[in-house]
Structure 1
Amino acid sequence: MTGRGRRELRPLSKKKKKKRERERERELRSEKMEGAKAAAGPAAGGQLESALLHIMQQHHHQSLRQRQQTERAKKDALRSAARLAGHLVEAVDGGVQELFVNEKRIELEARALLGTIARYRKQSDQWLAATNAVNSILKVCVLCCCPPFLLCSCLIRRFLHYYYVLLLLQNGCA
Structure 2
Amino acid sequence: MSDSLSQLLRNHNQQQAEVKRQNEQLKKNAVQSTNELTDSLTEYVNEGVTEIFSKQKELEQLSRKLANQTTRYANQTQQWLTLVDSFNMSLKELGDIRNWAEVMEHDMKTIMSTLEFAHQGTIDGEPINGPM
What TM-score comes out, normalization by structure 1 length?
0.56
Distance in 2 (CA, whole Å) between partners of 1:71 and 1:99 is 41
Counterpart residue type for residue 48 of structure 1: Q
Give the alignment partner of residue 40 of structure 2, picking from 50, 60, 63. Answer: 63
> What's the CA shift for 1:114?
0.8
Root-mean-square deviation over aligned CA pairs: 2.2
5 Å matches for 1:7-156? 41-141=18-118, 142=120, 144=122, 146-147=127-128
> What's the CA shift for 1:126?
1.4
Cα displacement string for residues 8-66 of structure 1 (whole angstroms, at most 9, x for unaligned residues): xxxxxxxxxxxxxxxxxxxxxxxxxxxxxxxx944433232222111101101111221
Unaligned 5+ runs, structure 1: 1-39, 151-174
What TM-score comes out, normalization by structure 2 length?
0.71
Cα displacement string for residues 73-123 of structure 1 (whole angstroms, at most 9, x for unaligned residues): 122112212211211111011011101111111111011111111111111
Distance in 1 (CA, whole Å) between partners of 2:102 and 2:60 is 63
Runs of 4+ in 1 over 2 A off after TM superposition: 40-48, 138-141, 143-147
Distance in 2 (CA, whole Å) between partners of 1:136 and 1:42 is 138
Partner residue, 2:7: none
Q: Which has the higher contact order (CA 8 A, sep 6+)?
A: 1
5 Å matches for 1:154-173? none
Distance in 2 (CA, whole Å) between partners of 1:134 and 1:77 is 84
- Identity, % of aligned pairs? 6
State the number of aligned residues: 110
